[in-house]
Structure 1
Amino acid sequence: MLISFNQLTHFAIHATDGDIGGCKDILFDDQDFVVRYFYADTNTWLPLSRKVVLPPIAILKLDTKEEKIHVDMTRKGLKDSPSIDEHKPVSREYEETLFKYFGYGYYWIGPGAWGDFAHPTELANVDLDKAQQDGHPNVTNHLRACSEVHGYEVPLGEDETGHVEDFLIDPQSWQVQLIVIDTHNWIPGGKKFVIAPEHIEKIDWSSHKVDVNLDREALLAQPEIDMDRLHDDSYIAELMVQVR
Structure 2
Amino acid sequence: MISYKQLRDFDIHATDGDIGGCKDVLFDDQDFVVRYLVVDTNNWLPLSRKVVISPISIARVARDEEKIHVNMTSQALKDSPSIDEHKPLSREYEETLFKYFGYGYYWIGPGAWGDFTHPTELADQEMQESLNELSEKPSNHLRSCSEVHGYEVSTQDDEIGHITDFLIDPESWSLKLLVVDTRNWLPGGKKLAVRPADLEKIDWSSHKVVFKLSHDQLMARPEVDMDKLQDESYVQSMLLKAE
TM band (smaller chain): over 0.9
Residue deviations 1:171-198 (CA, integer Å, cap 9, x gap) = 0000000110001122113211110000
Q: Contact 1:110–1:116 (CA<8 Å) still a contact in 2? A: yes
How far 1:135 sits from its partner (Å)? 2.2
Pair 1:237 & 2:236 matched: yes
Amino acid in the other structure paired with 2:165:
D
Q: Would you say the 8 A contact 1:103–1:128 is kept in 2?
A: no
Alignment of 1:1-244 (within 5 A): 2-126=1-125, 127-136=127-136, 138-156=137-155, 160-244=159-243
| Alpha-carbon separation, structure 2, partners of 1:104 and 1:233 | 31
Alignment length, in residue pairs? 242
The C-alpha deviation readout for 1:6-54, integer Å capped at 9, x for no partner, is: 0000000001111100000000000100000000000111111110001
Question: For each residue in 1:137-172, what CA deviation from the matched residue of structure 2 results, as whole angstroms up to 9, or x when unmatched?
Answer: x31000000000000000247664210010000000
The residue type paired with residue 83 of structure 2 is I
Structure 1 residues 71 and 50, CA, compared in 2 at 3 Å: closer, same or farther? same
Deviates more, 1:96-105 or 1:126-135: 126-135
Unaligned runs of 5+ in 1: none
CA separation in 2, counterparts of 1:218 and 1:128? Answer: 44
The amino acid that maps onto 1:72 is N
Where 1:228 maps in the other structure, the secondary structure is helix
CA distance in 2, matches of 1:167, 1:6: 8
Describe the superposition over 1:57-114 as per-residue Cα deviations: whole angstroms up to 9, x where unpaired: 0011110000000101111111111121111000000000000000000000000000
Q: In structure 2, how many angstroms separate the alpha carbons of the residues matched to 1:168 and 1:32?
A: 15
Contact 2:198/2:212 (8 A) holds in 1: yes
CA distance in 1, matches of 2:119, 2:156: 39
Gapped regions of structure 2 (runs ≥ 5): none
| In 2: Cα distance, 1:74 partner to 1:21 partner | 13
**Cα distance in structure 2, aligned partners of 1:15 and 1:131:** 29
8 Å Cα contact 2:39/2:50 also seen in 1: yes
Structure 1 distance, partners of 2:59, 2:76, is 16
SS in 2 for 1:113: coil
SS at match of 2:205: coil
Q: Secondary structure at the match of 1:130?
A: helix
* Contact in 2 for aligned 1:160/1:187 (Cα 8 Å): no
Residues 25 and 34, structure 2, Cα contact 8 Å, conserved in 1:
yes
SS in 2 for 1:28: strand
Which whole-Å CA distance do the structure 1 matches of 2:53 and 2:128 have between them? 18
Question: Secondary structure of the residue that 1:95 maps to in structure 2?
Answer: helix
Between the aligned partners of 2:86 and 2:29, the Cα distance in structure 1 is: 18
What is the DSSP-based 3-state SS (H/G/I as helix, E as strand, rest coil) of the residue aligned with 1:222? coil
* Shift, 1:129, TM fit: 2.0
Taking structure 2 as the reference length, the TM-score comes to 0.97
